[in-house]
Amino acid sequence: MAQFNLITWNIQWGRGCDGSVDLRRIVDTARATADFDVLCLQEVARNLPDLPGSQGEDQFRLLAELLPGYAAIEGIGTDVRAANVRGSGARSQFGNMILTRLPVLQAFRHLLPWPADPEVPSMQRVAVEVVLQAPWGPLRVTTTHLEYYSARQRAAQVERLRELQAEAAAHAQDVSHSRKEGGPFENAARPASGILTADFNFRPDDPLYARLQAPFADATPRYVDSWEIRHPGAPHVPTLGVFDREQWPEPFTCDFIFVTGDLARRVREARVNSDTDASDHQPVLLSLD
């Protein structure tokens, strides 16, 4: 059976530690990391020229063009009228993206909780979920980016991710709920088996790291950190601040790939690319067979 490779990466809208926004460099670095089947990206921008180094380019479109043969699934969190872009209908958008060369059976965009927290800045966050036809069967892949400034919002978002896992597990058992054929009522696979990737904005010693992996009260498969599966007891390799010490005085880990327990036996590699400075974050690789 062919190996399945997934990379997750907060690309900081393509801005490297040299200050330049270079999406081709992002794609080339991902390709050098692994021959990926799925690329999960956080911090992708459209019509946001105020971001340092950006000219307001449509990064969702450009990334899709740089990866012909890959389906591009957008997930828009922030969506507002563009203030600094010509055209009355222009919108400034910021979010996540999944690109995959595997068949996409269906896709979801889940806006995550955003309870008011007036003491800190924050933005609307989104989780992008796709159901792929993996070599061994249907597989859910979800990528997101949790709130950095608000602990309250981040905790609520972790609970929502757990709810989505429970929801998918229930859908996986409800295989005959639709009696209609064709159209929006057509049954489509949504398995309990899944991968969850993100810049979670929490560290391994944060209670939210443990909470995300906590067992469910029923038979819903729980998430497990793929790093712990492959490197039990070993410290996590830093994924942020490895090169950018201006924003991050010391490196730490906040980018993880979780898998449901049924996939644990398939994990062959969980690795951080610590060599690139194409973003302030490092790409993280998961290989399954």
Asked whether the beta carbons of 155 and 162 are under 8 A apart, the reply is: no
pTM of the model: 0.96
Residue 108's CB: how many other CB atoms inside 10 A?
17
Q: Could you tell me the domains of the chain?
A: 4-175+188-288 (3.60.10.10)
Cα separations in angstroms, 286 against 28, 38, 202: 18, 10, 19
pLDDT in tens, 71-125: 999 999 999 998 766 665 789 999 999 999 999 999 999 999 999 999 999 999 9
Residue written as token pair 């950190």: 225
Asked whether the beta carbons of 99 and 62 are under 8 A apart, the reply is: no
| Relative orientation angle of helices 23-33 and 59-66, to the nearest 10 degrees | 40
The answer for residues whose C-beta is within 8 angstroms of residue 155's C-beta and 6 or more apart is: 208, 211
pLDDT in tens, 212-265: 999 999 999 999 999 999 999 999 999 999 999 889 999 999 999 999 999 999
